[in-house]
Each structure stands twice: as C-alpha cells, then as structure tokens.
Amino acid sequence: MTQFTTIPCGGRVQRADIPHLSFDTFRTQALDIVKNGGKVVHFFAYEDQGTMKLMAVLRTHELLAAGCDAPETYACLTKACEPFHLFEREMAEQYGIRPEGHPWLKMVRYHKNIRSKPDVFNNDYTEDIPGNYDYYQVKGDEIHEVAVGPVHAGVIEPGHFRFNCIGERVLHLEIQLGYQHRGVESLLLTAKSKQLPMLAENIAGDTTIGHGLCMAQAVEALASVQVDEGAKIIRTIALELERLANHIGDLGALCMDVAFLAPANYFGRIRGDFLNLSLLLCGNRFGKGLVRPGGVRFTLDDKIRKTLDERIKELKPQVEHVLELIFSASTVRARFEGCGSVRAEDADHLGLVGPAGRASGLAYDARRCFATEHYPHLLIPENAKTTGDVYARARVRYDEVRQSIEIIQFLIGKSVDTQPVEDGIQALQALAPSSFAVTLNEGWRGEVSHAVLTDDAGNLLRYKVKDPSFHNWNGLAMALRDTGISDFPLNNKSFNLSYCGFDL
Amino acid sequence: MLTILKNRFEQGYRTCNYPKEKPAVFPRYRGKPVIQKTVDPEMVKACADACPQDAIVVDKMKIDMGRCIFCGTCERLSKGEFVTFTGDFEISTANKADLLTDGDLPSLAQHAKQHFKKLFGRSLQLRQVSAAGCNACEADLNVLATPFFDLARFGINFVASPRHADAIVVTGPVSRNMKTALLQTYEAVPEPRVVIAVGSCTLTGGPFSHSAEVAKGLDTILPVDLFIPGCPPHPLTNLHGLLAFFKA
Ligand code: SF4
Ligand code: SF4
C-alpha cells in the first residue's frame, strides 16, 4: 500500500514523488501517525490546475508527507485526534472546505475564503470581526465575563481575550485573533522576486531571522543553491542573537509582572544591547536584510567580529548576575511556581512547541532534531522541564540564554569566510518546476516552518507559513484554566506568543 | 540583599544624554539617505528597479522615506554613487510630502504645529495602537521606556487608556480587522488630539502595501500630524520625533 513518505528537511522533493493517496487512506494514515506520537507540521490545501488538493507534513523522528484530492466536505480528523484542530479550521477559512463534525468550527483570522465559496462560518465580512460568532459562555450564578482587547493596555499587538470567571478563578479563556491579518500568504505568492525575502522577514519582526531562514532555505532547496559554511555560521549567530534578545526581554517582562522592578529594568536595557548586536551585523536591530537565499548580505569582518566579541564578553557576566538575582529570589519563585500549569499530556495533545512545549516536558527542539545551518556541529541540550508552569517556562529561557551566549562565543572564534550575496533574486527566478520543499528552524518561540510548492513552470504554487504561535496559543488558554485572572499577564508573558505571526 | 546591591552597582547609570549629545550608533546602521544628483540617470533607474519597495522616484531623483524600508539595496547597487545612508537618525517629518527627499529635510521643530508644543510640551500622554504590522515597530517604541532612553524623564508616557491620552501612536498598515478598533480608540482620545504614524507600514502600507487587506497609509483614514519613517524606526528616531515635535 502507498504510504506517507519520508522527505528531507530543507531539501527539494519532486512533487511526483510524494504519494498521492485516496482521501480515506490519507485520513487513516495521518490519524495513525499522529495518534502514535507524530506531530502535525503542516496540513494545508492548495489549488493545482483547477483541482483542490490537500497536503500533510507530519513529524516523527523524521518528516513524512503525503497528499490527496481535497473533498469539499469530509469527516473531520480533529474529533479523532486533536492536533489537527486548528489546521482544519484554517483550511475551512482559507478555501471553504468543510470538516464535518469538527468540535469547534470557528473562524481563525476572519477573512473571506479565496475561492469565493459559501462561507463555512456564515459570516458576512462587511461586518466587523468576530462576525456572527458568539463567544463561549459559562452560565450560572456568580459567573462573570471579562473582555479584553483588541487594543490592550500596553504597547502590544491586538487580540481579543474573553474570560469566563467565577470570582477570581478563570473557568475558560477564549482567544480570538485575526486583527493583524494582512494576507501574507497571498502576498508571498504574488510577490516579485525582489519583494519575497522582505515579506518573509516581516511575517513576525521579532522572528525575522527564524522566518528569513525558512524562506531562504526553501528557495535554496528549490533552486539548488549551495550556501557556504561561513554564511551558515553568520546565520546561526543571528538566530541565537534573536533568541537571546527575546528570551532576555521575556525574563525582564516576567519580573515586571511580579513587581521585581530592578531586574525588569536591567533586562529591558540588556535586551536592547543584544538587538544592537544584530544592528552591528546588518544595520537593523531585528536582523532585517541579513539573510537572503544563497547566504547573507553582510559578512563578519574582523572589525565587526572584534566588537561583537567585546560586547558579548561585557554583557555575559551582567546577564548571569541578573539571572541569579531573579532565580534566587524567593518572591519570584513564589509567584512563578505552580502558576498556569500545562500538563505534559495536554501539551502533547495541543502540539505545543518551543520553550512552552519544553516547559511541559516535550523536549523537541528543531536545532537538535532537524539541524540546519551550523547546528549539526553544535551540541544542543534537551532543556525539558516537568512542571509546565510559569517557573518552568522561565527556567527553559534561563537555560537557553546561557547556552546561546556560549554558542555565539564559540562561533565568533571560528573563521568565517563568505561572499556576501545581494538579494538572492537570481535564485528566486530559477526555482525547479513541480517541486516541494519544507524547511524547519527553531526560532526563539519554537518551530518555524515554511512549505513551498512550485508548478510545472517553476512558479510558486503555494507558500504556506507556520509560526510556532499557531501551535501555542491554545496552550495559553489551557494554562489559564483554574488560574486566578490576575495571573493572566504573568502567564501571557511566559508564553509571549506572536499575534502577527499567527494572523499572517 | 547583597545580590541586589551588587547588581545595582554593576548596572550603574545607563541613561543616554540625548538630546544634548547624540549617542553613537553602529556604522552599518542606515539612517537618512543622501542623494548625489550628479549620478548617471541609468544608475537611478537600476536602483529603482531593484528597490523592493519601489520607493525611488527616478525623475525627481528622490527617495520616498514613507515607502523605504532602509534595506540599503540602492546604496549597495550604486556603490554609494546614487545614495548613501548616513548615521543620522533624525528623519521624522510633519508633512507627508517632505518624506520624499534627496537628503534635505526641513527642521521638524519648526514645522511642528506650535500650539501642540504649548499644550503638550511639558506633559504628553500617548496611547499606542498596534494595527497589523510585524511587531518590530511596537518593540522599538517599547524600549523607549527602558533606562537607556528613559522617555519618562521628558514627561512623556505611554498610558493604558485613550481617555488619559493626548495622542495616539499608530503602528502597522491598519488591517481591515483593526480599522474599527483604531477609529474607536481615536474617538476616545479627548480633543485636541495628535496622531503619530510610526513605521513604513503606517506611512504607506509598507511591505504589505500590495495587500487588499490593509490601508495605503494612515493618512487615508485619519489626519496625521507626525510621520516617523523606518522599518522599524530606530528608537532614537522615535525619540527625536517626539522631542522635536513637542518640545523643541
Ligand atoms: S533602501 Fe529604501 S530606497 Fe533603497 S532599495 Fe531599500 S527600500 Fe528602496
Ligand atoms: S514598518 Fe516594518 S518594522 Fe514596522 S511594523 Fe511594518 S514591517 Fe514591521
């Protein structure tokens, strides 16, 4: 029997070599793999010469892929296996394909489907989000609702949070996103070659390198472009700088939310220092414009390398001391420990990734499991914790901050020799026809992945983007169950998910 | 306790002395573009073709900083013959038309609405509205609250409610799903109110300007008083914009 086939991470596959199954076989096999511990990396629809098709990329210790023709309606997979839940909703929204019996068939980002099919959610999109959707309501005496957003109290992205509480206790949190939807996947598909890298970088600005790498590796795979080791080292440094800046920012923000202001301010400032190191490399604090198909646009010459080295040497003890300050404070532990726990089993069903997954015991880290760039030569520890609470999510960051500094210091010591590339436009204009590539990178929030299909003329046929936040938002909702509503900010920071990366 | 004190001592005093002194920015930073008018027009055309944002107006030999994402492609392609990006981060303007530049920018302090200085020069409360960008603009506004920039020392703060605000600071290209929330926030700010647009997205739709889901500039929706270009604007650009517009 034809089965899901193994595909390389970041390699080119002929589309003809991906098994095209009957829908029933596809469904049975996909369910089987995920029920036996597999994870969903991608599950999306696309149109190929007038026919709608589905594609699934699953992950065990390897990547598995298969496709099938898309039915207009089908018996949903979610009921049998939760990790498909959001993917099926997304597909229904993007293409109007209805998963019958889906336990929570709700829009994802609130937009029309691109095939002008009748709307699965009966929405009239001239009305404002959330259209005709009624939020979940808990009924009973003393139950009250709290509605927050889309505009939040701080300088943060928009989203709506609806809490159903009894007293201070949250019974249920429902999260509605989509406010930031700007049609990124369609833009990527129609973009001129010169615009594609820039668009990929702006999927989520705090994950510029993560998404930039996924885009670049996909194009490199499809255009058979080799990247030299020097460029790989620079990209690895950039990805770790991104992790450092964000993790340090998060730890500072967590301190702010438990009113430990000194380390909050120290880490606020130090985060900026790490952003400045990205600027040192490429002129932009978020690393925009650094990664391009074929390599990097900026080299690490001796002068830059020396400054980088000096700055890291100066920052390292400061970071360590502030970490000690935070993690040795009993008041911090008292607030972090036992707050917003997500059990390993729930994390597994929700398919959590990144630090949020590791905090609940899911050791998966794409840097270890699907190593790209310079990671095959690096030893990345497992960093898994067991308690799944705010403390565990902070502690994962504690470990990773220290490791990232080590990694960068180690890499600065290596000689890097690379030719800067311009905008990688040539590569983009020479994509292999009828091909498929999936790329995975461990961004600071977890697994970032792009899946790219080309048609028989070598044009982009489908560009699917997945930010780790797509997996993790429901983890936040789960963490809030039975947690005091006043602990929401703390929990929210401990996940610190991307709105725009989710909304696309 | 000792750890707390040791840390405090190690951290020292970190606030920059801006605007009295301009802090140094690393050399690869790309600030204000300066254009060489003597360049071969063919080169300008080549740069315009390569510009991912179509931000170069060939016949005028100018760059539209509203569209520009400061990627530096034009500078690299022309090897500086057409344009060089200087380390000057003071690039905000009070008129949208001034964003189209050859490197000569009118003084923001002089072009700012003078009555705003009187009203808000000593105390300015800002309400931020994030409307569908990539979150980097928000991040570099947020850092203004950190000790290095310390916005509060100028009497400027980000506040939680539009009712407490004098101005809204908008980031992102205003998606369809954020438009109502943005307008409601604007309405909730008591008059006279100021509108500040931060980042290429907000000025023109930026990298997302080809999407039907977003607006082609905040000024198509609301009257904008201050335009802060960049992708994202450097925190010092934001700081300069606020200080020059309201205080200088
Ligand atoms: S720096 Fe600005 S004008 Fe130059 S190529 Fe980039 S976006 Fe275009
Ligand atoms: S202007 Fe650039 S940095 Fe700012 S939100 Fe838009 S894409 Fe992000």
Q: Where are the domains of chain B?
A: 109-246
Query: Does one domain contain both A262 and A358?
Result: yes
Mutational test site, ligand 2, from B134, B175, B238, max ligand atoms within 8 Å of CB: B134
Confidence tier at A397 by pLDDT (50, 70, 90): very high
pLDDT of residue A479: 94
Q: What strands lie across the sheet with B194-198, from one edge to the other?
A: B156-158, B124-130, B167-171, B194-198, B226-228
| Residue A447 forms part of a structural domain | yes
Q: What is the average pLDDT score of chain B?
A: 92
What is the overall mean pLDDT for chain A? 93
Average pLDDT value for residue range B212-217? 92
Instruction: Pick the residue of A114, A151, A246 with the most B CBs within 10 A to test the interface with B by mutation.
Output: A151
B69 CA from centroid of ligand 1 (Å)? 6
Are A210 and A112 in a shared domain?
no
Residue A422 is assigned to a structural domain of this protein: yes
Residue A26 to residue A3: CA distance in whole angstroms: 8
- Give the model's pLDDT for residue B248: 81
Q: How many CA atoms lie less than 13 Å away from A184 in the CB half-sphere? A: 27
Q: What is the pLDDT of residue A427?
A: 66
Instruction: Pick A282 or B11 by higher pLDDT.
Output: A282
Q: What gap in Å lies between CA A130 and CA A113, rounded to an integer? A: 15
Residue A428 has pLDDT above 80, yes or no: no
Per-residue DSSP letter, A95: H
Provide ipTM, 2 decimals.
0.94
Q: In chain B, which among 167-206 make CB contacts under 8 A with chain A? A: 172-173, 175-178, 180-182, 185, 206
Mean pLDDT in residue range A158-182: 93
pLDDT-derived band at A470 (thresholds 50, 70, 90) equals very high
Q: Are A428 and A307 found together in one domain?
A: yes
Residue A423 has pLDDT above 60, yes or no: yes
Mean pLDDT of A290-294: 94
One domain for residues A304 and A429: yes
Can you tell me the distance from the alpha carbon of A73 to that of A117, in angstroms, rounded to the nearest whole number? 12
Kindly report the pTM of this predicted structure.
0.95
Tell me, yes or no, whether A339 and A452 share the same domain: yes
CB of B142 less than 8 A from some CB of A: yes
A182 touches chain B (CB under 8 A): yes
Residue A87 falls inside a structural domain = yes
Q: Is residue A179 part of a domain?
A: no
CATH of the domain at A477: 1.10.645.10
pLDDT digits (tens, 9 = 90+) for A250-287: 999 999 999 999 999 999 999 999 999 999 999 999 99
- Which residue has 């016949």 as its token pair? B59
**Least-confidence region, from A261-265, A444-448, B182-186:** A261-265
Q: Give the residue on A whose Cα is nearest the Cα of B205.
A: A182
Q: Check whether A424 has a pLDDT greater than 70.
A: no
Give the model's pLDDT for residue A1.
65
The beta-carbon neighbor of A283 closest among B4, B30, B145 is B30
Interface test with A, best of B2, B10, B170, B175 (most A CBs within 10 A): B175
Give me the domain span that covers residue A60. 5-130
Weakest mean pLDDT among A423-432, A472-481, B9-18, B210-219: A423-432
Which residues, in sequence order, are bridge partners of residue A143?
Answer: A166
pLDDT for B215: 93
* B109-246: CATH, from 3.40.50.2300, 3.40.50.12280, 3.20.20.220, 1.10.10.10: 3.40.50.12280
**Nearest in space to A364 (alpha carbons), one of A77, A62, A64, A81:** A62
A130, A156, A172 - which closes a domain: A130
Q: Chain A contact for B16, CB < 8 A? A: no
Residues A192 and A339 reside in one and the same domain: yes
Q: What number of other Cβ atoms are within 10 A of residue A226's Cβ?
A: 8
What DSSP string runs through A206-233? GGHHHHHHHHHHHHHHHTT----HHHHH
List the single residue in A183, A194, A322 with the smallest CB-CB distance to B212.
Answer: A183
Count of domains forming chain A: 2
What b/e readout covers B183-211, taking b as 16+ CB neighbours within 10 angstroms?
eebbebbeeebbbbbbbbbbbbbbbbbbb
